Amino acid sequence: MKKTAKASREEIFSSMPVPAALRTMVVPAVISQLIVLIYNMADTFYVGQTGNPYMVAGTSLILPVFNITLCLSGLAGIGGGALISRLLGQGKKDEARRVSAFSLYLAVLIAALFSVGMAVFMRPVLSLLGAGENTYQYARQYAFCVIVFGGVPTVLSNVLSNLIRSVGRSGEAGTGIVLGGVLNIILDPIFMFLIMPDGYEVLGAGVATCLSNCIACLYFVVVLIRMGSQSVITFSVKNGMASKASILAVFGVGIPSAISSLLFDLDYVIIDKLMVSYHDLALAAIGIVLKVERFPLNVGIGICQGMMPLVAYNYAAGKTKRMKDTIRLARGVGIGVAVVSIILYELFAVQFTHLFIADAQTVEMASSFLRIRVLATPLMFLSFFTVYLFQAFGKGHVSLGLGVTRWLVFNIPMLFILNRIFGMYGIVWSQVTADTLTVIMSFIVYFRFGPGREKSKA
């Protein structure tokens, strides 16, 4: 039975028709990404039911910090996962095992250090994020639960999901993330409205999120045990230490991935800081929009996550035609999703934002913001799609260059420039403007440094 499963996973990478292989890898990844988004949004939804915009703003302030925990998981999970797929494409299974163990212990270490740092520097961090007199206590309650106490299980769950997907087990990888999300959706109202007293709804949401991530992490540990001692994904160090070249390769892709994610979060932090200078309702409105707009973006991320192991394996195996077919199909599907999202959000912006808060002024502002921000969706997809491709190729320096240029040269400066010229709505329009430039740059870089000129070995 194990032999059949193994052959099936190898077939996904090497011989299954590209549409079927991509569907097998992408569908679980997309579902898990949507569930992740839904359970992140569930906190905002349930907190919004209190009718207190300061609670909504307080939880929204923690989104960039929570996303930093996810980018830390990208350092080990994306860096390690991309390398494992390439090593399997080269037939180096033992080295793939050593890389797996290194990535997992790296994840635990960096997550623990980040959680401790957040606990020690809580006040200055929240002040930097824009927490004021009305929002600080709520942001603090939420941060202690999801970052300080929940940081390690959150990071480890995401790293395990990436590594398990890298060997073709996209179903198990997605199931663990879905489990955590569904539990959070169920536990949120129980802790917020039944267990916690009035005024502590944000604390209840935080406890529910932390507990859900702990259970998801336990699920992945069970999956690892069931995969057996001969599995490529393992905590065992009996096979020895990963080679220096492999460690450098993990960091070579993982660090650019983490930096790009950090800059993405810095962009969110700056948006919050600029918006709070207007008023707290503007902060609450943009906080809702930054979550609602993530639906099509998370689908795009799921497409990229499912695509990356296939591209990495076939790139390393020299099957250039199969690799290119995978890239073309994944890119087309992602753009299609982005176009549909623009249509839906333009038509139903008010209804989407009304799901999160009933305050009429906040709803009006958020729906107006959403109709503008969604125009950038296909541009944002193409931007991070190119970054994922270079991560799959193991060209971390190129993905780092793309990420740094996107955020530090285009996006973040555009926020300040357009805010200065057009005020609050200039902040909202900045994404479309900056990502237009980013997409142009991405295509130039891909045709210059991508594998397009490599001769197919298939």
Instruction: Please provide the average confidence, as pLDDT, over all residues in the chain.
Output: 86
The answer to whether position 6 is within a domain reads no
Q: What is the mean pLDDT of residues 134-150?
A: 89
Q: Residue 421 has what pLDDT?
A: 92
Whether pLDDT at 353 is above 80:
yes
Q: Residue 8 has what pLDDT?
A: 56
Q: Residue 333 has what pLDDT?
A: 95
- Specify the number of domains making up the chain: 1
Q: Residue 436 has what pLDDT?
A: 94
Q: What is the mean pLDDT of residues 84-108?
A: 92
Whether pLDDT at 29 is above 80:
yes
Q: Residue 458 has what pLDDT?
A: 36
Q: What is the mean pLDDT of residues 266-289?
A: 82
Whether pLDDT at 367 is above 50:
yes
Q: What is the mean pLDDT of residues 11-22?
A: 87
Mean pLDDT check: name the lowest of 9-13, 14-18, 21-25, 381-385: 9-13
Q: Which residue has the higher pLDDT, 199 or 409?
A: 409
The answer to whether position 263 is within a domain reads yes
Whether pLDDT at 116 is above 70:
yes
Predicted structure pTM score: 0.79
The answer to whether position 10 is within a domain reads no
The answer to whether position 7 is within a domain reads no
| Structure tokens given for 122 | 């809580």
Residue 264 pLDDT class (50, 70, 90 cuts) = confident
Residue 334 pLDDT class (50, 70, 90 cuts) = very high
Which residue range(s) make up the domain with 396? Answer: 16-453
Q: What is the mean pLDDT of residues 345-360?
A: 84
The answer to whether position 197 is within a domain reads yes
Whether pLDDT at 6 is above 50:
no
Count of Cβ atoms closer than 10 Å to residue 384 Cβ: 23
Residue 219 Ramachandran class (φ > 0 left, ψ -120 to 50 alpha, else beta) = alpha
The answer to whether position 458 is within a domain reads no
Question: pLDDT digit string (tens) for 282-330?
Answer: 888 888 888 788 889 889 989 998 999 999 999 988 898 999 999 999 9
The answer to whether position 8 is within a domain reads no
Whether pLDDT at 456 is above 50:
no
The answer to whether position 5 is within a domain reads no
